[in-house]
C-alpha cells in the first residue's frame, strides 16, 4: 500500500472496507516533463485522484452490495444507485475511473500506429484534422470537464463531459481523454488552456489508445 494512500485514508474516518484502491502511476512524476510538470502530477495524482477514490469508498461504505460491482458497472447504471449516494458515486466514481484511465494514456514519444491510426484517418481525414477538431471541442468545455475520443455505435466520435462525468454513463466507450480541470494544468499553464492542449498531444500514449480501441470492438 503506497504511503500517500495510508496518509490520505486517515483523513476519512470509519472506512473499514477499502473496496476501490488508487492506482499508482506506472512512471515517475517527472516522466512527462516538460509537457506536464512534476508538481502538477504529484498533486493531481496524490491529492485529487486519491481524494476521489477515498470519497467513493466513503459513499459506498454503507452499501456492501455495491462494493462488489466494478466501477464501470456502477457508472454504466447510475439509475440503479440509491438517491442518497448517486451524486457522490457519479462525481467521485467518475473521478476515480477517468483519472485511472488518464494516467495510462500519458507517455512521451509514442507515435500513432496500428488500427487506431487507420480509423482516425478514415473518420477525420487525417491526424492533424482530428487534432484540430479535438482541440476545438476541448477549448469549448466551459469550466471543469473532459474531452474524449469515444467509440459510439461503432464509430469514433469526439465528445465532452462536464465535471467528472464519464462517457461510459452514456453508453459510449472512451479510448482517449483529456482532463481540462484547472487542477490538471494551472500550475504550469495558468489560464493558457490552448498551450496545455498542445502539450497533451506530445504525451499521448497511442499504444494504449490503440489497445482501448481494439478492446472496444
Ligand atoms: Fe484531474
- Asked if residues 63 and 19 have their Cβ atoms less than 8 Å apart, the reply is no
Cα(48) to ligand 1 centroid in Å equals 7
Q: Strands of 155-162's sheet, edge to edge?
A: 155-162, 145-152, 173-179
- pLDDT band at residue 68 using 50, 70 and 90 as cut-offs: confident
- The residue-averaged pLDDT of 182-200 equals 97
Please give the distance, rounded to the nearest whole angstrom, from the Cα atom of residue 63 to the centre of ligand 1: 26
Span from the CA of 202 to the centroid of ligand 1 (angstroms): 18
pLDDT of residue 32: 98
- Mean pLDDT across 149-163: 97
User: What are residue 150's DSSP bridge partners?
Assistant: 157, 174
Q: What is the pLDDT of residues 106-138, one digit of tens each?
A: 999 999 999 999 999 999 999 999 999 999 999
Cα 178 to ligand 1 centroid, rounded to whole Å = 9
Ligand 1 centroid to Cα of residue 80, in Å, is: 26
10-14, 60-64, 184-188, 197-201: least confidently modelled range: 10-14
User: pLDDT grade, residue 18 (50/70/90)?
Assistant: low
Q: Is 60 exceeded by the pLDDT of residue 1?
A: no
Instruction: Give the residue-averaged pLDDT of 49-71.
Output: 93
Number of residues assigned to the chain: 217
The pTM of the full predicted model, rounded to 2 decimals, is: 0.90
To 10 degrees, the CA torsion angle through 11, 162, 158, 101?
10
Q: Ligand 1: distance of its center to the CA of 143 in Å?
A: 13
Q: How far apart are the CA of 185 and the centre of ligand 1, in A?
A: 9
* Rounded Cα gap, residues 189 and 158, in angstroms: 24
Q: Calculate how far, in angstroms, residue 184's C-alpha sits from the geometric centre of ligand 1.
A: 5
Q: Ligand 1 centroid to 46 CA: how many Å?
A: 11
Give the pLDDT band of residue 186 (cuts 50, 70, 90): very high
Full set of structural domains in the chain with CATH: 3-28+37-104 (1.10.287.990), 115-216 (3.55.40.20)
Spell out the SS3 assignment of 52-113.
Answer: HHHHHHHHHCCCHHHHCCCHHHHHHCHHHCCHHHHHHHHHHHHHHHHHHHHHHCECCCCCCC
Closest to 86 measured CA to CA, from 107, 52, 60? 60
pLDDT above 70: residue 6:
no
* Residue among 89, 87, 59 nearest 72 (CA): 89
Secondary structure of residue 48 in the 3-state scheme: helix
Q: How far is the CA of 179 from the centre of ligand 1 (A)?
A: 6
- pLDDT tier for residue 152 given thresholds of 50, 70 and 90: very high
Q: Which residues, other chains included, contact 34 with Cβ-Cβ below 8 Å and sequence gap of 6+?
A: none
Distance from the alpha carbon of residue 105 to the mean position of ligand 1, in angstroms: 13
Amino acid at each position: 500500500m503506497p504511503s500517500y494512500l495510508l496518509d490520505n485514508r486517515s483523513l476519512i474516518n470509519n472506512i473499514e472496507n477499502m473496496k476501490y484502491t488508487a492506482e499508482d502511476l506506472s512512471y515517475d512524476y517527472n516522466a512527462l516533463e516538460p509537457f506536464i510538470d512534476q508538481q502538477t502530477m504529484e498533486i493531481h495524482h496524490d491529492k485529487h485522484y486519491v481524494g476521489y477514490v477515498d470519497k467513493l469508498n466513503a459513499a459506498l461504505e454503507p452499501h456492501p452490495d455495491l462494493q462488489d460491482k466494478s466501477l464501470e458497472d456502477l457508472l454504466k447504471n447510475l439509475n440503479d444507485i440509491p438517491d442518497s449516494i448517486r451524486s457522490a458515486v457519479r462525481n467521485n466514481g467518475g473521478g476515480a475511473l477517468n483519472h485511472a484511465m488518464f494516467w495510462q494514456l500519458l507517455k512521451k514519444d509514442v507515435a500513432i500506429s496500428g488500427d487506431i491510426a487507420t480509423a482516425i484517418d478514415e473518420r477525420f481525414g487525417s491526424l492533424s484534422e482530428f487534432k484540430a477538431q479535438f482541440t476545438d471541442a476541448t477549448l469549448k468545455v466551459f469550466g471543469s470537464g473532459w474531452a474524449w475520443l469515444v467509440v459510439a455505435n461503432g464509430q469514433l466520435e469526439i465528445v465532452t463531459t462536464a465535471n467528472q462525468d464519464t462517457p461510459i454513463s452514456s453508453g459510449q466507450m472512451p479510448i482517449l481523454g483529456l482532463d481540462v480541470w484547472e487542477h490538471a494544468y494551472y500550475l504550469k499553464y495558468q489560464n493558457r488552456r490552448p498551450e496545455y492542449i498542445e502539450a497533451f498531444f506530445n504525451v499521448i500514449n497511442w499504444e494504449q489508445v490503440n489497445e482501448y480501441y481494439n478492446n472496444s470492438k
